[in-house]
Amino acid sequence: MQLIEGKVVSQAVLEQVKRDVQTLKTNHNLTPGLAVVIVGADPASQVYVRNKVLKATAAGMHSAKHELPQSATQDELLALVEQLNNDPAIHGILVQSPLPSHLNERIVVDAINPQKDVDCFHPYNVGKLLIGDTDGFLPCTPNGVMAMLEHYDIETSGKNAVVLGRSNIVGKPMAVLLMRKGKHANCTVTVCHSGTKNLKEVCRGADLLVAAIGVPQFVKADMVKEGAVVIDVGINRIDDASKKNGYRLVGDVDFQAVSPKCSYITPVPGGVGPMTIAMLLKNSVTACRLLHGV
């Protein structure tokens, strides 16, 4: 069993991002700009946003953080998005989710200029993804998984891939990327969800299993075949009295039970998580290039 270390792969991506940013500054007098919008004071969201801002700044990018109170209205949030759409210093816009329950996230996403939609959530960019258009953005977490498969040179062509989860953020785009042509894709893909029958049997047929359902340690050893590649996208808090903060982070895979059966597996934390921010910054550099015709 070999660990797929997201920290290592993400660092390689971030180093390339830093070089690309410097090239844009030196050759074109352009500084890629990323704006992150957060509504309310959700602790986890605050951590995510802080990490994104820090990584963007470290890469030499222009980073702008916009905070709105929990009570912010839909119109106030949309007005901020429109302001950022029209700001020439901003090339990428990210609205941190989840939003407070009184706000409609779909309306907010649709309001972002597709050319600045570095999360790749806008219907325009999702459509481009589905038809195989590669000149724009790719969704950050699924593309991070693809980058890890490539970094470790894991052969997936012709393999059976099972994706646990059908979310718009991970499950659906993950399936699309895995079925695309290419050495580290070209899979036969099955997407499983709450309506899937004989789930264990389906998972046991996977050469590559991607877990993204948000249920702590859901995937057990009897769901994984010998030699499988297991990618754990989940990150969940569970109670742990032995920890100072009273909890620990685990994935959607029971790592201790599953890892001995795997050829490769991602840990949690330190697996897929670091890749998401790295691919976000990569998309932001792409946005700068496309908006300026570079």
For the cut 80, the answer to whether the pLDDT of residue 175 exceeds it is yes
Query: How large is the average pLDDT for residues 20-32?
Result: 98
Q: What is the pLDDT of residues 65-119, one digit of tens each?
A: 999 999 999 999 999 999 999 999 999 999 999 999 999 999 999 999 999 999 9
Q: What is the pLDDT of residues 110-128, one digit of tens each?
A: 999 999 999 999 999 999 9
For the cut 80, the answer to whether the pLDDT of residue 156 exceeds it is yes
| Distance in angstroms (rounded) separating the CA atoms of residues 194 and 179 | 22
For the cut 90, the answer to whether the pLDDT of residue 47 exceeds it is no
**Which pLDDT score, from 0 to 100, does residue 10 have?**
97
**Which pLDDT score, from 0 to 100, does residue 243 have?**
87
| Matching fold, domains 29-115 and 140-274 | yes
CATH topology of domain 140-274: Rossmann fold (3.40.50)
Report the mean per-residue pLDDT for the chain. Answer: 95
**Is 99 in contact with 244 (CB distance < 8 Å)?**
no
Q: What is the pLDDT of residues 181-239, one digit of tens each?
A: 988 899 999 999 999 999 999 999 999 999 999 999 999 999 999 999 999 999 988 88
For the cut 80, the answer to whether the pLDDT of residue 3 exceeds it is yes
- Annotated active-site positions, please? 52, 96, 119
Per-domain boundaries in the chain? 29-115, 140-274
| Sheet-wide strand order for 92-95 | 62-68, 33-39, 92-95
**Which pLDDT score, from 0 to 100, does residue 89 have?**
97
CATH topology of domain 29-115: Rossmann fold (3.40.50)
pLDDT band for position 294 (cuts 50, 70, 90): very high
Q: Count the neighbouring beta carbons within 10 Å of the beta carbon of residue 63.
A: 22
For the cut 80, the answer to whether the pLDDT of residue 134 exceeds it is no
Q: What is the pLDDT of residues 254-265, one digit of tens each?
A: 999 999 999 999
**Which pLDDT score, from 0 to 100, does residue 246 have?**
87
**Which pLDDT score, from 0 to 100, does residue 210 have?**
98
pTM: 0.95
For residue 180, give the DSSP letter. Answer: S
Query: How large is the average pLDDT for residues 132-146?
Result: 92
| Distance in angstroms (rounded) separating the CA atoms of residues 57 and 216 | 33
**Is 72 in contact with 95 (CB distance < 8 Å)?**
no
- How far is CA 114 from each of CA 4, 39, 135, 140, 281, rounded to the nearest angstrom? 32, 21, 13, 15, 16
C-alpha angle with apex 292: 291 to 294, nearest 5 degrees?
Answer: 115
Strand partners, 265: 3, 230
Question: For 33, phi and psi rounded to 5 degrees?
Answer: -120, 130
Query: How large is the average pLDDT for residues 20-36?
Result: 98
